[in-house]
Amino acid sequence: KQEVTQIPAALSVPEGENLVLNCSFTDSAIYNLQWFRQDPGKGLTSLLLIQSSQREQTSGRLNASLDKSSGRSTLYIAASQPGDSATYLCAGGPSGSARQLTFGSGTQLTVLP
Amino acid sequence: DAGVIQSPRHEVTEMGQEVTLRCKPISGHDYLFWYRQTMMRGLELLIYFNNNVPIDDSGMPEDRFSAKMPNASFSTLKIQPSEPRDSAVYFCASSLNSYEQYFGPGTRLTVT
């Protein structure tokens, strides 16, 4: 069964810093790795999807990488802004016959002005 | 496309009452997922459908929970009878070929 872990659980940085959020997973046979953002009391917004044949994806100031052999993914945020403050969730899947996503518990990011 | 639509956005009900949550997936998507989010357990899958057929309902907590997908554009999650421990945010998500999943805004359920 897929397990996904995110460290740290919370992170506070000053505005302008570059930062990295970490995600690890146990089943390297995943088809893709998806990063989401969740604002308080809101739904999930998909940020980046890395398919198994890819190693990274970029969107604006965000870059996500995937290393299936080590069971790790990272989300890099460049030049952080207060508007980036949110909880970031990574989710692995599908894997094997399971089609659903398995979520990590998230990293709560606070960017201080 | 309007994205995944869920209704109601908020539901407050008394213990023992029946609750029905609704979801309209993105047109053309063939997978539909129901997730529940709580502070204690995070996001967990309840059930998912492929082409309107339930594939895996192992995450449904009890027989009090049931889900249906009568057609490609509509799904319901029903809780009968509801209990306070069912209080959570329930998300519906859809995808094409089970790859990138798109989430609805969620239904915040409070059972008193």
Size of interface A-B (CB pairs under 8 A): 51
At B98 the pLDDT is 66
At A2 the pLDDT is 82
At A96 the pLDDT is 65
**Would the pLDDT of B63 be above 80?**
yes
Dig out the tokens for A39 from the structure.
């604002």
- Rounded-to-integer distance, Cα A42 and Cα B54, Å: 27
> pLDDT tier at A98 (50, 70, 90 boundaries)?
low
**Residues forming beta bridges with residue B89, ordered by sequence position:** B37, B108
Task: Return residues 51-110 of B near A (CB < 8 Å).
Answer: 55-56, 91, 93, 98-106, 108
How far does A46 lie from chain B, in Å, by closest CA?
7
Q: What one-character-per-residue DSSP string does chain A give?
A: ---EEEE-SEEEEETT--EEEEEEES-TTEEEEEEEEE-TTS-EEEEEEEETT-SEEEETTEEEEEETTTTEEEEEE-S--GGG-EEEEEEEEEETTB-S-EE---EEEEEE-
At B99 the pLDDT is 76
How far does A87 lie from chain B, in Å, by closest CA?
12
At A52 the pLDDT is 80
Contact A64, A81 (CB under 8 A): no
**Would the pLDDT of B48 be above 90?**
yes
CB of B43 within 8 Å of any CB in chain A? yes
Contact A6, A108 (CB under 8 A): no
**Would the pLDDT of A90 be above 80?**
yes
CB-based contact B45 A42, cutoff 8 Å: no
At A53 the pLDDT is 83
Question: What does the pLDDT average to over B58-67?
Answer: 92
How far does A72 lie from chain B, in Å, by closest CA?
19
What SS3 class is residue B61?
coil
Question: What does the pLDDT average to over B15-41?
Answer: 95
B42: nearest CA partner in chain A: A105
Closest CA to B8 of B19, B22, B27, B18: B22
Query: Strand A44-51 vs strand B101-103: parallel, antiparallel, or unpaired?
Result: unpaired
Contact B24, B39 (CB under 8 A): no
